Amino acid sequence: MILVSSCLAGQACRYNGSSALVKEVEALIENKEAMMVCPELLGGFHTPREPAEIIKGTGMDVINGSARVVELSGKDVTDLYIDGAYKALSIAKEIKATVIVLKENSPSCGSEHIYNGAFSGARIAGEGVTTALLRKHGFVVMSEAQFETKLYWDQP
């Protein structure tokens, strides 16, 4: 079973109320080959919500307690991101996910890049909180771009 970000399957659950539909991901859901998850909603957020970025680090730094996730207004939402990540991990374990496809650049789901924490639109190499936790537990996590180009994708 494949676990995918809900927004990639067309759900309007991104911070700004939009989706990031990838038709191939939507097809996986329709064919019951994948299950959707939104770690941010699992953590207690609503849509729309204020943008948030990881300050002074990456997702693994958040998990280790040396970085924080903060909204544009300055509100610390680290605990909600960590809670959502652990709930996503529980689902991944429960369904025995073989591959996980998450939304790039997200402070939760980014797998190669996240925003730099200055709310300037600049990105840095790094992973989001959920991706870091999933990888720490041995799961294969890729971005939608990697999925779309079949980079790292093992076709049957």
Quote the CA–CA distance of 63 and 128 in Å, as a whole number: 10
Quote the CA–CA distance of 132 and 95 in Å, as a whole number: 19
What pLDDT sits at residue 61?
98
Res. 152 pLDDT band, cuts 50 70 90: very low
What pLDDT sits at residue 31?
95
Quote the CA–CA distance of 73 and 145 in Å, as a whole number: 30
Res. 94 pLDDT band, cuts 50 70 90: very high
Enumerate the domain spans of the chain: 2-148
Quote the CA–CA distance of 77 and 60 in Å, as a whole number: 16
* One-letter amino acid of 49: R
Q: How much is the CA Rg of the chain, to the nearest whole Å?
A: 14
What pLDDT sits at residue 148?
83
Residue 112 is given by DSSP the state: S
Least confident of 2-6, 61-65, 70-74, 142-146: 142-146
CB 83 within 8 A of CB 133: no
